[in-house]
């Protein structure tokens, strides 16, 4: 995220940092850095840690959703469409 310009993006968003949509992983840590509360290195480590935690919470939530369908990122797009269409048909029956 940092290599893709997250810091520069956060700098532009500082005037809006109190908006709920910006209270997310990445922005909140960088806003603390830009406010001089923490170092950039610490902010980056916190982003990594908080991203892992958020990801684990998402996986836990999705595992409880029986209708979730998981695909490997290498799965052919047409195969995904076929599987999803099959699931839609089953749901309609």
Alpha-carbon distance 66 to 69, whole Å? 8
SS3 37: coil
* pTM (two decimals): 0.72
| Strand intervals (E) in the chain | none
Q: Token pair of 59, please?
A: 């996986």
Q: Identify the DSSP state of 16.
A: G
Q: Residue 44: which H helix or E strand, with range?
A: helix 40-63
Q: How many residues does the chain have?
A: 93
Domains of the chain with CATH codes: 6-66 (1.10.287.890)
- Reading the chain (93 residues) residue by residue, the pLDDT tens digits are 999 999 999 999 999 999 999 999 999 999 999 999 999 999 999 999 999 999 999 999 988 887 788 899 999 999 999 999 998 888 776
């Amino acid at each position: 995220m940092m290599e893709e310009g997250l810091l520069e993006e956060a700098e532009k968003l500082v005037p809006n940092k109190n908006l709920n949509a910006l209270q997310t992983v990445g922005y909140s840590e960088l806003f603390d850095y830009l406010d001089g509360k923490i170092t950039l290195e610490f902010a980056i480590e916190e982003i990594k840690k908080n991203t892992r935690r958020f990801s684990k919470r998402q996986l836990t939530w999705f595992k409880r959703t029986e209708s979730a369908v998981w695909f490997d990122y290498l799965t052919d797009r047409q195969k995904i469409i076929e599987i999803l269409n099959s699931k839609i048909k089953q749901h309609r029956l």
